[in-house]
Chain A
Amino acid sequence: MTASDDVRTARRRYLVVGCAVPVALTLVAVALMLAWLPEMPATVATHWSSTGEPDAFASAWTVPVGTAVLGLGLTALFATIMLTGTRDGHWGPMMRLLGAASLATTVLVTVGMTWSFGLQRGLADPHDAPGIGLPMLVALLLGVVAGAAGWYAQPNVTTGARATRTIEPLRLAPGERAVWVSTTTMSRAAMVAIVASIVALALGTVVVAATGSPAWWVMLGVTVLLVLLAATTFVFRVRVDDRGLTVASAAGVPRFGVALDDVASAAVTTVNPTADFGGWGVRLVPNGSFGIVLRAGEALQVTRRDGRRFTVTVDDAATAAALLEALSSRVRGARN
């Protein structure tokens, strides 16, 4: 089978696991809720406090509508990420994870919402709604099981490897010392998207705070955390010297790298952020591959001695790889 056949199979499986099944589940859940509607009180509990008491209520019809919007919306969101990220025929383990996550979240949402809705059939007063600890626990477990099943129902296809090219070591005189330094910056489009979503979250925090809900401080915490993450992951300094590869945020921390004696090989590769790493930023992929992915395109890929990979998107990666090869072969020569 050729690579593109593999990708077609993987994509078809994704569409079953991450789209068709979630959509079917959502439709079944909504149909069930609509059938129950005549038995429901006019308003139902939609939210429970941490002590198990219902603390928020809404008209009964909003629950099936909300389930439909949430179930179909999440599926569409995941599918859009997959379809736009793999337009160029790339596929990777993050796509497999995305399909499994799509199924898992839909199972969690539909089971949780349908069960908590069904519990309230025949109630006169929604304040008497029973606690939903058990339904939520079961929904969570089913979500995890569905996610695992969705993962194994999809084939393991990775197309990234074909773009990698090995590099001749840089010619260094014995005793010659060298350093390669570069700066890598988040692509403007990704930066705009991240800043926009943080602004949206900040606005949401203000709105929630204005309604007097105590949830606002959690949202504030998340907003501050995201601002910190964004500020420290937009620009990285990349350095290759006789200590190995160092990738440090322009802010100083965080700092990543591969020690010289842990370098097995260095190469140049082409990164597709969505297919290879599931997005932008500091990324860990299920297969153990670690990436600092700030844009699509040229990247330095270092393979460690245990086979795990460290990738950073950076210009002039060929020079960096050549120097790293030269320095690490020197260390290997000294060891043997």
Chain B
Amino acid sequence: MLIRVDPASETPIFAQVAASVRADAAAGRLRAGDKLPSAREVAASLGVNLHTVLRAYQSLREEGLVDMRRGRGAVVTEAVEPLAQLHHDVATLVARAKELGLSPDTLAALVKETYR
């Protein structure tokens, strides 16, 4: 799985880490039962604080995407399956939005509005 963070971005680092994991899950690269790399390994590789990565894992846990168990680390739950199923639809929607020149924020706002 690929985790990327851009310190120049306005999005907080922990949110970027969480978004990377979510994107991997949505792309079908993560299966239920897969183990996320240890927070310490990710923090060392990205040169970020350990607590930043732990905060990202914590927010993924709150979404139900991963399960945190002492000694076992963060394990991906069944909740990734619907994400993977939507992958194709989301990719199509994003491609269409790009064609029409919509910004990511506008698209996200539109999706949120429609969902309500």
Residue from A175, A177, A178, A237 having most chain B Cβ neighbours under 10 A: A177
25 residue pairs A–B, Cβ–Cβ below 8 Å: A172-B4, A173-B6, A174-B8, A175-B6, A175-B7, A175-B8, A176-B4, A176-B6, A176-B7, A177-B5, A177-B45, A177-B46, A177-B47, A178-B2, A179-B4, A179-B37, A179-B41, A180-B2, A180-B3, A181-B41, A181-B42, A241-B46, A316-B29, A319-B29, A323-B2
User: Taking the complex as formed, is B100 at the interface, i.e. its CB lies under 8 A from any CB of chain A?
Assistant: no
User: Chain A: how many interface residues by the 8 Å CB criterion?
Assistant: 21
* Residue of chain A at shortest CB distance from B42: A179
Which A-B residue pairs are the 5 nearest by beta carbons?
Answer: A179-B45, A241-B45, A178-B4, A176-B6, A181-B37
Nearest-CB distance from A185 to chain B (Å)? 12
* Residue of chain A at shortest CB distance from B1: A181
Please give, as numbers and ranges, the residues of chain B lying within 8 Å of A179 by CB-CB distance.
Answer: 2-4, 37, 41-42, 45-46
CB contacts between A and B, total, < 8 Å: 60
User: Chain B: how many interface residues by the 8 Å CB criterion?
Assistant: 18
**Bound state CA distance, A241 and B47, in angstroms?**
10
Query: Interface residues, chain B, CB within 8 Å of chain A?
Result: 1-9, 29, 35, 37, 41-42, 45-48
**Bound state CA distance, A166 and B4, in angstroms?**
22
Please give, as numbers and ranges, the residues of chain B lying within 8 Å of A175 by CB-CB distance.
Answer: 6-8
Please give, as numbers and ranges, the residues of chain B lying within 8 Å of A177 by CB-CB distance.
Answer: 4-7, 45-48
User: Taking the complex as formed, is A239 at the interface, i.e. its CB lies under 8 A from any CB of chain B?
Assistant: yes
**Bound state CA distance, A244 and B68, in angstroms?**
29
* Residue of chain A at shortest CB distance from B37: A181
| A178 B3 Cβ-Cβ under 8 A | yes
* Residue of chain A at shortest CB distance from B4: A178
User: Taking the complex as formed, is A59 at the interface, i.e. its CB lies under 8 A from any CB of chain B?
Assistant: no
Please give, as numbers and ranges, the residues of chain A lying within 8 Å of B9 by CB-CB distance.
Answer: 173
Q: Choose from B29, B41, B47 the contact partner of A239 (Cβ within 8 Å).
A: B41
